[in-house]
């Protein structure tokens, strides 16, 4: 049972990080939460709400991780561009000087 849950969790994380399937998985997750038929129906007191709460938590956690990675990549790209611009500006230039009296 735990192996199948870990496999499902790993599949979800891997799929949501794939840009090709990300929006389909997000929309599917939201549809599952809104649709009245669940694996554990919501009218069951604890279990019904627990599966929805776990799925919402998993969705928000993974989407926030994707957004954090995107921001880090943008900052890295911006700092690399800034470093290459400053390194070009800091290249030494040979100058011949002449003393004028």
Domain ranges of the chain: 2-78
pLDDT over threshold 80, residue 12: yes
- Catalogue the E-assigned strands of 1-101: none
Annotate 5-27 with DSSP letters as a single string: HHHHHHHHHHHHTSTTTHHHHHH
Give the whole-angstrom CA distance, residue 58 versus residue 4: 16
Q: Identify the band that residue 71 occupies on the pLDDT scale cut at 50, 70 and 90.
A: very high
**% residues pLDDT > 70 (the chain):** 92
pLDDT of residue 63: 92
pLDDT band at 11 (very low <50, low <70, confident <90, very high): very high
- Residue 12 CB-half CA count within 13 A: 20
Angle, to 10 degrees, between the axis of helix 22-34 and the axis of helix 2-16?
A: 130
């Amino acid at each position: 049972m735990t192996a199948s849950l870990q496999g499902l969790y790993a599949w979800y994380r891997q799929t949501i990080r794939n840009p090709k399937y990300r929006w389909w998985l997000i929309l599917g997750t939201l549809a599952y939460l809104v649709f009245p038929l669940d694996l554990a129906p919501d009218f069951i007191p604890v279990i019904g709400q627990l599966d929805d709460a776990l799925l919402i938590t998993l969705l928000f956690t993974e989407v926030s991780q994707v957004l954090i990675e995107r921001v880090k990549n943008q900052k890295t790209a911006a700092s690399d561009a800034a470093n290459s611009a400053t390194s070009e500006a800091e290249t030494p230039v040979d100058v011949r000087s002449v003393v004028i009296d």
